[in-house]
Amino acid sequence: MSHTLGAVEMVLVRLPLVRPFTTSSHTKDHLDHILIRVRDQDGAEGWGECASPSDPYYCSETTETSWHILRDFLIPGLLGKSFERASEAAATWSKVRGNNFAKAGLEMACWDLVCRASRTSLAGALGGQRKEIYSGVSLGIEPTLDGLLEQVERYLDQGYRRIKTKIGPGRDLAYLRAVRQRWPDVPLMADANSAYSLENPEHVAALKALDDLDLMMIEQPLADDDIVDHARLQSQLRTPLCLDESIHSVADARKALDLGSCRIINIKVSRLGGLEEARRVHDLCVQRGVPVWCGGMHEFGVGRAANVAICSLPGFTLPGDVSGSDRAYREDIVDPPIRAHSGAIDVPWDRPGLGFEANLSRIRANAVRELVLEAERRPLAA
């Protein structure tokens, strides 16, 4: 079935976080994501989410750069073009370099549209297999050790399958050691968001000290644009390294694995520019026997539903950061709400597309800005 988009709507939506979230670089208490609604010539619709952070501290994109790239390049290049598959839609922006968060949002909307129009689930269209996905939590840096232990206990009580905590220089060993002492067997890992450097001997000593804590992995300890120093560090540690920020494509993943820069890869749909590239990284890792898991960007329900779908692929053998949306938001913008039960989230195999319905009135109630772009209508010849 061929689709030609007549209109695309962008809505900048702000949701407050139930609890402020601190990483090695900054703290946030709300998120601004761009929801994208595409509509074809027959009125069929699809939704996507651009989960770019507001500030350029995780990656160089921001909400405003994503808005600009979507409005001025990606959407105008797609409007009026016909496609049968999301990959053909993505081919219309193949000349655009970078800007993966913006691309991922629009590509997701095209997947949802194509799947809904053909009454297939996104999980099925991607080649997923799992009925449910196993879910872990990502905890921010807490002001106190007791605060962290309280958070860990709370989510273990809810059944979440692994604990990840953010770390940074000076806020690492004592925190993780305390968690490990209290829960000797819990699957535990740390995410440094690029806060360490091999040029700093104290940083190197801190990373080596973590090697005794039986962590599942240490995520992205070194620079976001590095895979060379990561390889050097990996050769000195027993603990697997996992790359997040450094991997923007399947080519990046191949090079990092060839170099030995990591033994695990965090697959994020947005960082990779869409579901298609996320699946390619998954396929490469399966072929090489490298475990993968799905990271998150505190997605609202639309982006979170896409994460649930990609997690249903067989190579996602480790619990990821895709948790119930109630951990982040009091009220999300999809129905039914995305919830974990005993640390697992059901994959909505029986519902088309993303499998969760965007709630337009809640989206509008939290909208900060809206824009509709339409295909040019040429006047009929005289």
Q: What is the set of active-site residues?
A: 166, 268
Q: Are 37 and 45 in contact (CB under 8 A)?
A: yes
Residue 244 within binding range of Mg ion, rule CB under 5 A:
yes
Q: Mark residues 134-163: x for contact with ligand OSB by CB under 6 A, - for none.
A: ----x-------------------------
Omega prior to 336 cis, within 30 of 0 = yes
Question: 110-139: which residues touch ligand OSB (CB under 6 A)?
Answer: 138
Q: Which does 296 bind (CB under 5 to 8 A by kind): Mg ion, ligand OSB, none?
A: ligand OSB
Q: Where are the alpha helices (DSSP H) in 330-370?
A: 360-365
**DSSP structural state of residue 71:** I
Total residues binding ligand OSB (CB under 6 A): 11
Alpha carbon of 244 to those of 11, 197, 297: distances in Å? 27, 16, 12
Residue 321 within binding range of ligand OSB, rule CB under 6 A:
yes
Nearest to 71 by CA among 376, 375, 372: 372
Q: Are 339 and 304 in contact (CB under 8 A)?
A: no
Q: Are 120 and 354 in contact (CB under 8 A)?
A: no
Q: Mark residues 243-272: x for contact with ligand OSB by CB under 6 A, - for none.
A: -x----------------------------
Q: Are 354 and 305 in contact (CB under 8 A)?
A: yes
Residue 24 within binding range of ligand OSB, rule CB under 6 A:
no
Compare residues 128 and 221 and give the one whose CB is closer to Mg ion. 221
Q: Which stretch in 87-95, 225-233, 290-298, 357-365 sits in contact with ligand OSB by CB under 6 A? A: 290-298
Total residues binding Mg ion (CB under 5 A): 3
Compare residues 8 and 241 and give the one whose CB is closer to ligand OSB. 241
Residue 301 within binding range of ligand OSB, rule CB under 6 A:
no
Q: Are 242 and 224 in contact (CB under 8 A)?
A: no
Nearest to 205 by CA among 172, 241, 244: 172
Compare residues 142 and 244 and give the one whose CB is closer to ligand OSB. 244
Contact set with ligand OSB (CB under 6 A): 58, 138, 191, 193, 244, 295-298, 321, 323
